[in-house]
Amino acid sequence: LRHSYFEIVYSTLHNLYQSKYEIEDLRDWTLRLVDKFGYT
């Protein structure tokens, strides 16, 4: 097995780390949308 699997995992984790704040913004936006339409 070459390093391709490790590279895929590393790049995925790296992208998740880079987009951490974007994911948090999306979660906050989703929570506001849910609260707006009263799905709580």
Q: What is the pLDDT of residues 1-40, one digit of tens each?
A: 566 888 988 998 888 887 777 777 888 888 888 888 876 5
8 is in which domain, residue-wise? 4-29
In a domain, 12, yes or no: yes
| pLDDT at position 40 | 52
Spell out the residues 6+ positions from residue 23 whose beta carbon is closer than 8 angstroms to its own. Answer: 16
- Could you tell me where the DSSP H helices lie in the chain? 4-18, 20-37
Q: How many whole angstroms separate alpha carbon 20 and alpha carbon 13?
A: 10
Task: Please answer whether residues 34 and 40 qualify as being in contact, where contact means their C-beta atoms are separated by less than 8 angstroms.
Answer: yes
Question: Domain for residue 36, yes or no?
Answer: no
Q: Is position 21 within any domain?
A: yes
pLDDT of residue 1: 55
Tell me whether residue 17 is in a domain.
yes
pLDDT of residue 39: 63
Number of structural domains (the chain) is 1
Q: Has residue 23 been placed in a domain?
A: yes
